[in-house]
């Protein structure tokens, strides 16, 4: 797996890639794949890149839960990362600091790119998640979307959700594969994870070469906001998602369509018009987001031209 990059100008170090699985301890398929890959390097084509596979949250994996103290994938916030050894630190903050010290761009094994492998319980299939609008991330997402046709969920401008792992590396991408229940191994999910990861690595390798094949445009589903279930004074749900919404990931919401069902003889009142009308739901009834009080998130589909600046930025990064 370990390869050196050689350019026409001489021997140059092609940037190393960090591949993280099990950032959430109950998403078990990608960690299983990485374990197998460690034993059998032929299992997965790394496109001759130097790849460092790591389990994100081994303690949570051991305990078969998403996290121990707090969500690791919300723990890469500057204020948390700045906590020093004298302060009481949640286990995941310590782990985030360890990962950056080991594999961050200035770490002991410096990596310039982080690929973070996740799974979803929502019926949304597979997708890529990009945080914000860094040109290198958009370039990489364009190449992978051009190869696999995966939708891209662009998560930005959400003050309630910050501190994502890949943001601590110069370039990063999340691969979400599903649907699969938490804690369940599934051969199809393992194969889809492998395909998406191989395509990502091939895209990174190609990005530093002479003529990577970029699509003309990138289709993104830009995050607009999230919707919670209606709740009573004890904070319990008064209604559940209507079956028109269940499983409707990636399909536009119709104005006035029923969102909730209270399972009573009276139909639940139609939702008032909102900024989300015509929006496209994702992560509908995602198990991991119950604790975050997110019944689904709403996005807007946008088509962006693939810019020369993105291509140049990723080429520069991958040429080392």
Q: Which is nearer to Zn ion, 24 or 194 (CB)?
A: 24
Distance in Å, CB of 24 to Zn ion, minimum = 4
Q: Which is nearer to Zn ion, 27 or 92 (CB)?
A: 27
Q: Which is nearer to Zn ion, 24 or 95 (CB)?
A: 24
CA 180 to chain centre: 15
Q: Which is nearer to Zn ion, 24 or 221 (CB)?
A: 24
Q: Which is nearer to Zn ion, 118 or 221 (CB)?
A: 118
Tokens describing residue 295: 């019944």
Distance in Å, CB of 182 to Zn ion, minimum = 9
Cα distance between residue 95 and residue 297, in whole Å:
28
- CA-to-CA separations, 35 to 20, 76, 205, 219, in angstroms, rounded: 12, 25, 23, 33
Residues that bind Zn ion (CB under 5 A): 24, 27, 118
Distance in Å, CB of 211 to Zn ion, minimum = 35
Q: What residue number has its CB nearest to Zn ion?
A: 118
Distance in Å, CB of 27 to Zn ion, minimum = 5
SS3 percent helix, strand, coil of the chain, rounded to 5, is: 30, 20, 50
Distance in Å, CB of 156 to Zn ion, minimum = 18
Q: String of b and e for 241-272 (b: at least 16 CB within 10 Å)?
A: bbeebbebbbebbeeeebbbbeeeeeebeebe
Distance in Å, CB of 67 to Zn ion, minimum = 10
Q: Which is nearer to Zn ion, 118 or 223 (CB)?
A: 118
Cβ 115 vs Cβ 175: under 8 Å:
yes
Q: Which is nearer to Zn ion, 64 or 209 (CB)?
A: 64
Distance in Å, CB of 68 to Zn ion, minimum = 15
- Which residue from 216, 202, 204, 136 is spatially nearest to 169, judged by alpha carbons? 136
Beta strands in the chain (DSSP E): 6-7, 10-11, 17-21, 51-55, 113-119, 127-131, 152-155, 171-177, 217-227, 240-241, 260-261, 280-282, 296-305
H or E element: which one contains 101?
Answer: helix 91-103
């Amino acid at each position: 797996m370990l390869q050196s990059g050689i350019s026409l100008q001489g021997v140059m170090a092609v940037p190393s890639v960090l591949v993280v699985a099990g950032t959430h301890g109950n998403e078990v398929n990608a960690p299983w794949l990485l374990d197998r890959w460690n034993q059998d390097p032929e299992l997965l084509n790394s496109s001759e890149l130097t790849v460092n596979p790591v389990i994100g949250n081994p303690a949570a994996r051991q305990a078969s839960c998403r996290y121990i103290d707090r969500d690791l994938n919300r723990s890469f916030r500057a204020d948390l990362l700045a906590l020093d050894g004298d302060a009481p630190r949640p286990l995941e903050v310590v782990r985030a600091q360890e990962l950056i010290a080991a594999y961050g761009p200035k770490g002991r094994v410096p990596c310039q790119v982080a690929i973070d492998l996740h799974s979803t319980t929502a019926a949304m299939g597979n997708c890529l998640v990009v945080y914000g609008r860094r040109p290198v991330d958009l370039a990489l997402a364009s190449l992978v979307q051009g190869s696999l046709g995966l939708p891209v969920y662009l998560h930005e401008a959400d003050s309630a959700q910050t501190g994502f792992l890949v943001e601590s590396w110069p370039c990063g991408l999340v691969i979400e594969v599903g649907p699969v229940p938490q804690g369940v191994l599934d051969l199809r999910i393992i194969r889809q994870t492998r395909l998406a990861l191989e395509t990502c690595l091939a895209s990174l390798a190609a990005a530093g070469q002479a003529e990577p094949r970029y699509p003309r445009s990138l289709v993104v589903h830009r995050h607009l906001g999230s919707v919670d279930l209606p709740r009573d004074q004890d904070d319990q749900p008064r209604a559940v998602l209507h079956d028109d919404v269940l499983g409707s990931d990636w399909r536009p919401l119709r104005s006035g369509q029923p969102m909730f069902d209270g399972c009573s003889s009276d139909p639940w009142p139609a939702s008032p018009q909102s900024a989300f009308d015509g929006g496209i739901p994702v992560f509908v009834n995602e198990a991991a987001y119950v604790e975050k009080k997110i019944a689904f998130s709403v996005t807007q589909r946008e088509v962006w031209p693939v810019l020369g600046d993105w291509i140049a930025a990723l080429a520069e990064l991958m040429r080392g």
